Structure 1
Amino acid sequence: MKKWSFAAGMMMILSAVMIGCGKEAAQPVDIAEGVDKCEICHMGVANDQHATEILMTDGKALKFDDIGCMYQWIAENGTEQIDVQYVRDYLSKEWVQGEQATYVYDENFKTPMGYGIYSFKEKSAADAFTKEQQAGTVMVAQDLKNHTWESSMKKHKAGHGEGHGGGQAENHGASHGEGHGDAGKTGEHTPSTANHN
């Protein structure tokens, strides 16, 4: 009887360990253009290389149009309820877990909300990109936690006064996907300050 109890106990422990080790990360959710809105700026999220996601422990997916918006949400809400973060490879648009990606930052890189960070699946691709562009600083996920998140659009708006290109969410969503494919080129996007918290 003792032998059976011991064997049963060992099987239960082994099963628990195997289930724990075999648990896969939650998978990214498709972007529905024209429907999905950024959790921070409330602009339409384009199904492009700038889209990011946070998958919560309760299964909810939060979507963002710019990696800077995702990090603003984290700064405001913390990480306790986050299961996994996803970003997209700048070249292939493939989803990549945020902790595993490599990033390139330059204040002149164009992103939907002006945070100037592109994400890459492979470090070698990020290195090649900075060499080709002759611009940008290569970063890892840990660096983003200490990064000063400042939008070039806010700086631009502050320098030109209120009323300069005050974009509306509807217009932003319509033009959001234009011109994102080339480095340093994207559609003009001006955040609606009324929607920022």
Structure 2
Amino acid sequence: MIIKYLKVLLLLVIGVMFLACDKKVETGVAEVHWDRDMCSRCVMVVSDRKNAVQVRDPNNGKAYMFDDMGCMALWFEEEKIKWKDKAIVWVTDVNNGEFINAREAFYDTNNVTPMAYGFSAHKSKDTIKKGEEVISYDEVIKRVTKTAQ
């Protein structure tokens, strides 16, 4: 009889332990497989290390790769991504290829990019050539989606 109660108690303890384990959603930059990962929108291989974009779903941490900011912006619209305003977005700095927070980055507008949208990210406004237009992440999204309509 005592063994039966111990088994039940053990099952309860194991059950509580599983319930207490909270799965952490990944928010950082996922591993990139250059020249093998494909853009989630246009299915082109992601090769350009200075214009790549990565989006994380804030609900489950799933990562999506893009070869250009424009593809990402259009993917949000075309796929009707409800969590787009909460998405965790990483973009590579055009100067050194480091992934940076896309929402905090500065963008210039006259670049050669994989899909010819022309927007490249900079960690610092100081790295953008004098006289070049400087815009925000929100303005990039607005311009890309406006031209697609």
Percent of aligned pairs with the same residue?
26
What is the CA-CA distance between 1:51 and the residue it aligns to? 0.6
User: If each structure's helix is expressed as a fraction of its own residues, which one has the higher value?
Assistant: 1
SS of 2:112's equivalent in the other structure is: coil
Deviation at 1:100, TM superposition (A): 0.6
Work out the CA distance in 2 between the residues paired with 1:24 and 1:43: 27
Indicate the SS of the match to 1:90. Answer: coil
Structure 2 unmatched ranges of 5 or more: 1-23
SS of the residue aligned with 1:139? coil
Contact 1:26 1:83 survives alignment (8 Å): no
User: How much is the aligned-residue C-alpha RMSD, in angstroms?
Assistant: 2.4
Q: Deviations for 1:132-180, whole angstroms, at most 9, x for unmatched residues?
A: xx6x4210122123214559xxxxxxxxxxxxxxxxxxxxxxxxxxxxx
Aligned residue among 78, 83, 90 for 1:80: 83
CA contact (8 A) 1:31 1:46 kept: no
Among 137, 143, 149, which residue is 1:147 paired with? 143
Aligned residues: 121
Supply the AA of the counterpart residue of 2:137.
A
CA distance in 2 between counterparts of 1:125 and 1:25 reads 30
User: Distance in 1 between the 2:118 and 2:107 partners?
Assistant: 10
Question: Offset of 1:29 from its aligned partner?
Answer: 1.2
Note the 1:175-190 alignment, pairs <5 A: none
Q: Provide closer, same or farther for how the CA distance between residues 33 and 145 of structure 1 changes in structure 2, counting only shifts above 3 A.
A: closer
- Stretches of structure 1 that go unaligned for 5 or more consecutive residues are 1-22, 152-197
User: Partner amino acid for 2:28?
Assistant: Q
Say if 2:54 is the partner of 1:53: yes
Alignment of 1:91 with 2:87, yes or no, is no
- Normalization by structure 2: what TM-score? 0.71
Q: Write the distance in 2 (CA, Å) between the matches of 1:85 and 1:36.
A: 17
Alignment counterpart, residue 101 of structure 1, candidates 96, 105, 108: 105
- Give the SS at the match of 2:121: strand
